Amino acid sequence: MGTSDSTSTDSTSTDRAGAAGRDRDSEGRARNARPRDGLGRPLPYGEEGVPRQPEGVVRRPEESVAEAQRLLDEGKPFHAHEVFEDAWKSGPEEERELWRGLAQMAVGLTHAARGNVTGGARLLRRGAAAAEAWAAGGGLRPHGIDLPSVIAWARELAAEVERGEGVQVDAGARAPRLRGAA
């Protein structure tokens, strides 16, 4: 079993000789250390990947929205989903469905950009439904998010993907405007 280098900035060991040949974090939990591309797909060890979004970051909701929008605009919806997931896990219970729905929409865009028509459309619709259910409680612009527009965006993109329009979805070009038109 490899040893951890105390000067390393990555808490994940890339020593493949560990238990069952799996990457492990500093607590021994399985965690894939392979580099990833902008859509979160694993790349071969040793290739240059996109820096991972740190997990478990607690941000103010407005910071989460701004960071997610930046990542979406850069064509990194997989990474934006991580930001939404952090907000979902660390935010107040009454907002969890909102953040979960946004995370699902980001993953739906990820799958659509990867060419997974069925998964992309399904997750876009599931996220839109979760956000819509949350908004039924009266929250149409939580933290400045134009929720009706984002929900409409997700449903429109799901329908386009299923019809085969723009088979290769450009994640950055098709990113939603979370706070409405720029």
Q: What is the model's pLDDT at position 24?
A: 64
Q: What is the model's pLDDT at position 37?
A: 87
What is the radius of gyration, based on Cα positions, of the chain? 18
Which amino acid is it at 21? G
Q: What is the model's pLDDT at position 89?
A: 94
Of 128, 87, 83, the C-alpha closest to 105 is 128
**13, containing H or E segment:** strand 12-13
Q: What is the model's pLDDT at position 30?
A: 56
As a whole number, mean pLDDT of residues 157-163 equals 94
Task: Reply yes or no on whether the pLDDT at 31 is more than 50.
Answer: yes
Neighbours of 62 (CB within 10 A): 12
Q: What is the model's pLDDT at position 166?
A: 58
DSSP percent split of the chain into helix, strand, coil, nearest 5: 50, 5, 45
Q: How confident is the model at residue 12 (pLDDT cuts 50, 70, 90)?
A: very low
pLDDT digits (tens, 9 = 90+) for 62-120: 999 999 999 999 999 999 999 999 999 999 999 999 999 999 999 999 999 999 999 99
Q: How confident is the model at residue 182 (pLDDT cuts 50, 70, 90)?
A: low
Q: What's the token pair of residue 100?
A: 């979960």
Q: Which residues contact 137 (CB under 8 A, 6 or more apart)?
A: none
As a whole number, mean pLDDT of residues 152-165 equals 93
Q: What is the model's pLDDT at position 38?
A: 84
Q: Is 44 helix (H, G, I), strand (E, B) or coil?
A: coil
Task: Reply yes or no on whether the pLDDT at 162 is more than 70.
Answer: yes
Q: What CA–CA distance (Å, rounded) separates 153 from 149?
A: 6
Show the DSSP H helices in the chain as ranges: 61-73, 77-90, 96-114, 117-135, 147-163
Q: How confident is the model at residue 6 (pLDDT cuts 50, 70, 90)?
A: very low
Q: What CA–CA distance (Å, rounded) separates 45 from 18?
A: 16
CB–CB of 81/106 below 8 Å? yes
Q: What is the model's pLDDT at position 29?
A: 60
Task: Reply yes or no on whether the pLDDT at 19 is more than 80.
Answer: no
Which amino acid is it at 136? A
